[in-house]
Structure 1
């Protein structure tokens, strides 16, 4: 069976860094409070005039460069912060990357978006509809967060990460395993921005000023995230023919260090098998998994032959997981 195989990887972060101390200077918080509750030390945020497509183009270009190519048959962009409500942002990204005529579309599954995008790419490659797909997760999530909301401002950051996938053999290193996905719309209010859609425009419910901004019921999200990320990872690992103990690196959605620790413990994995990047970049939503992979690859945390499990939970509610064996440096 034709499989989707990792051929290139890239990431990009906006230059502006907001430290915990900077937040503490204007909000009722402290570096210790943020680190203790989230594990986050800093986050990157977009500057005025910088859009999600700007982030996506830079990460996508880096992934193409990593693979030594300037071509792709398709672009899939996972984002919660498109440049505009209409049209999708992916065609603009493809255009700026010089991929003239390339089909391109957005995927909106919040923090699980990159895994949903990987599933779409894997299916398109598997059916022969595309031979090479550029999958990007890009977010300017700070634009959704009220600047005086201590809990959200401390957590979220901006950035983009990308994988270039090519058609290959399911047994070769870098091949994606089965992708496990799920959702539960009954939990749609757990993580949300209520205003801006048809609920507001058609008067389904009155909107207040705070409905323009991101909101999250953190305690409930924590429990659902641990449960769903664990279940999805176990299912993906089982379908790959592995035992949980054989996972060398667990790359979870970088939302909160306590969530990552809890998922690792549910899988009976030591914490040192976790890939952790949120301490430097915060929660970058759909960009978090590819950014964590790019950072781990660049710093040697991912070694050729490592069995890697990816898992995420996000708004919707959505969740997902997949596996792969990390390829050699020459292959990415």
Structure 2
């Protein structure tokens, strides 16, 4: 296993040894060597995606497909200390985008009921946004509650905890509109956060104080993409960044400072890389990049933060974990630009 791991890591392209790229990151020294120092591959079977740490950082939740026992996507959990995984969902359709909402409950999306209810309408659909609904389940998949029943895609959810009004933010494609919606978990009504004609809004992520949300927004007329920060109470959107490439997989770190992780395929490049944006400092830093696509970042709620992410290798995604370094190098923004913003 160690030999295979070293060979796989060796396939990564490190900027520190002279790889060339046609983007703003080409001359930035990034700490890619850390992938070979202390990083750990935690999945080896199937095609895995969307890792999420448990609150105490001891376990990891993720979706997995292309297994011997199932071809479609199902939810798994791995005990990181014991290095032992177990399957949670056994649905007929695909189950994906799972997150913890308590020590004993998870939230995820599934295509099971939508495909059964409208088999003719759902014979051909967008693989990025399949017909699906939100579900809540215990950690053994025995007690399952369907939360949404609107035709179309419901997924990419984030949990808004509250003593009396817990809620979920999620992406929903309803007709021709793809926007951000909110589900009240107490009474299950769904309300609109933001949706616009000719704009696609996806991958919502809540700030730790739950007062703001960020999402990736694509102008369907110009194909330009932006990162938007939205004050939920005031309903005020602010464009953080735009025109850099294709943003995905947004995730706010649980601990300060306020940092937004995401994956991005930058203009002029073929593979997605991991970046982080410090909201207060207006500073973008490259976390990892290489010859393979790196995506789906998630950060643990620990003083020594760990980063989980996926690496696309030999047409399958596997999940890695690495301790985040204290210094990620320089900001991509020019010093003058950062000064103006501040």
TM-score (norm 1): 0.34
Larger radius of gyration: 2
TM-score (norm 2): 0.33
Greater share of helix residues, 1 or 2?
A: 1
Task: Compare relative contact order (CA 8 Å, sep 6+) and give the higher one, 1 or 2.
Answer: 1
